[in-house]
């Protein structure tokens, strides 16, 4: 089995936790802060954090356009929470000057499940993840308002899509990297491996 090199966008957010989860599923994790580091990875995780801050830092570090180009060219990417927002083609309620990488034909609503003190956990059935429910940790999480024809909803909570896949792109509203359950990362690592042949 090949060992994919998976970058973690290390501008802001829970980078260390994704490193640990990727290592646990047999991927080599590397921090990505500059375009030349992005060019060296087979796939990319965009972690949770603050989507507006990640957007502004990606622009400041000269990463936004290279990210868009790699995603358009077929690089696998996985976004959790703020990362889901970054992979959405459209944000329903963007902050001023907030931009996304895009790639998934969906509209997301920021902080849809409430503020920090309204964080919660829920057991979720996620299509493509075997072995029973995944524990979803929702922290100021977005939800998906709507998806286009090419986007596949993998999980819902309270009637809203919270996990979506489109081709080589995967996004979750929740944070699997915080639970010690690495099955979502295993799903993504498998997506990256298929691109390596």
- Indicate if 177 belongs to the active site: yes
Catalytic residue among 17, 81, 182, 185: 81
pLDDT for position 84: 97
Catalytic residue among 18, 177, 182, 185: 177
From residue 8, give the alpha-carbon distance in Å to each of 101, 155, 157, 192: 15, 23, 26, 13
- Indicate if 37 belongs to the active site: no
Alpha carbons 156 and 68: distance in angstroms, whole number: 27
Enumerate residues 6+ apart whose C-beta is below 8 A from 57. 11, 12
> What is the token pair recorded at 80?
């959790």
* Contact between 6 and 189 (Cβ < 8 Å): yes
What pLDDT, in 10s, does the model give residues 82-128?
999 999 999 998 777 789 999 999 999 998 887 777 899 999 999 99
pLDDT for position 96: 74
- Indicate if 175 belongs to the active site: yes
| 167: region left, alpha or beta (phi > 0 left; psi from -120 to 50 alpha) | left
User: Which helix (H) or strand (E) segment is 85 a member of?
Assistant: helix 82-87
Alpha carbons 45 and 162: distance in angstroms, whole number: 17
Can you list the residues of the chain whose pLDDT is less than 50?
Answer: none
pLDDT for position 108: 96
Q: Is 55 helix (H, G, I), strand (E, B) or coil?
A: helix
Domains along the chain?
5-196 (3.40.50.880)
Q: Is the dihedral of CA 106, 144, 175, 179 positive or negative?
A: negative
């Amino acid at each position: 089995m090949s060992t994919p090199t998976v970058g973690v966008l290390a501008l802001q957010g829970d980078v260390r936790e994704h490193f640990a989860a990727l290592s646990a599923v047999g991927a080599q994790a590397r921090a990505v802060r500059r375009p030349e580091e992005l060019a060296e990875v087979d796939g990319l995780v965009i972690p949770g954090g603050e989507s507006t801050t990640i957007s502004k830092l990606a622009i400041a570090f000269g990463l936004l356009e290279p990210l868009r180009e790699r995603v358009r060219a077929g690089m696998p990417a996985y976004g959790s929470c703020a990362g889901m927002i970054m992979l959405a083609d459209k944000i329903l309620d963007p902050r001023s000057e907030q931009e996304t990488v895009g790639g998934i034909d969906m509209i997301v609503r920021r902080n849809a499940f409430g503020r920090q003190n309204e964080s919660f956990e829920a057991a979720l059935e996620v299509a493509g993840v075997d072995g029973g429910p995944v524990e979803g940790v929702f922290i100021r999480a977005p939800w998906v308002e709507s998806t286009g024809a090419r986007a596949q909803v993998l999980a819902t909570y309270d009637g809203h899509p919270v996990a979506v896949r489109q081709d080589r792109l995967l996004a979750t509203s929740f944070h699997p990297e915080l639970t010690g359950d690495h099955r979502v990362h295993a799903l993504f690592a498998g997506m990256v491996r298929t691109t390596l042949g």
